[in-house]
């Protein structure tokens, strides 16, 4: 799932490679360039995902350990979404309390 999200992050390169493949209907070299570019985007996205996973797995942060535990469970996407929402709510509550303390 993460690799697909990384691929979407390289949307401009994917569109460029598809345009080159379309031009490749008439110019053969553009087909190879477009396919090569698409392959490079997929490889880069896979490598990025490996770095992200390694970073989460080796983190000493206890919150990241909770995140890693969620990633390894079934239905992880729903559980991760709930965990992230909870972290955002906790963060916004902390910011609100800090703002109130600053006003006093």
Per-residue pLDDT of the chain (104 residues; tens, 9 = 90+): 566 666 677 788 888 888 999 999 999 999 999 999 999 988 988 888 888 777 777 777 776 777 777 767 676 677 777 777 887 888 776 666 666 666 65
**Structural domain of 68:** 60-104
Q: Are residues 35 and 85 in the same domain?
A: no
Q: Are residues 46 and 16 in the same domain?
A: yes
Q: Dump strand ranges (E) for the chain.
A: none
Q: Are residues 65 and 50 in the same domain?
A: no
Spatial distance between the Cα atoms of 103 and 20, rounded to a whole number of angstroms:
58
Q: Are residues 6 and 51 in the same domain?
A: yes
Q: What is the pTM of this model?
A: 0.58
Q: Could you give the number of structural domains in the chain? A: 2
87, 63 contact by CB (below 8 A): yes
Q: Are residues 47 and 79 in the same domain?
A: no
Q: Are residues 9 and 32 in the same domain?
A: yes
Contacting residues for 53 by C-beta, under 8 A, at least 6 apart = 2
Q: Are residues 16 and 33 in the same domain?
A: yes
């Amino acid at each position: 799932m993460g690799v697909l999200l990384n691929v979407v992050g390289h949307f401009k390169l994917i569109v460029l490679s598809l345009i080159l493949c379309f031009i490749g209907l008439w110019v053969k070299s553009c087909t190879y360039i477009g396919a090569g570019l698409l392959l490079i985007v997929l490889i880069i996205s896979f490598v990025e995902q490996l770095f992200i996973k390694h970073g989460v797995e080796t983190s000493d942060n206890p919150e990241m350990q909770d995140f890693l535990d969620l990633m390894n469970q079934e239905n992880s996407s729903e559980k991760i979404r709930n965990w992230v929402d909870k972290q955002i709510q906790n963060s916004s509550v902390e910011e609100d309390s800090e703002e109130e303390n600053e006003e006093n």
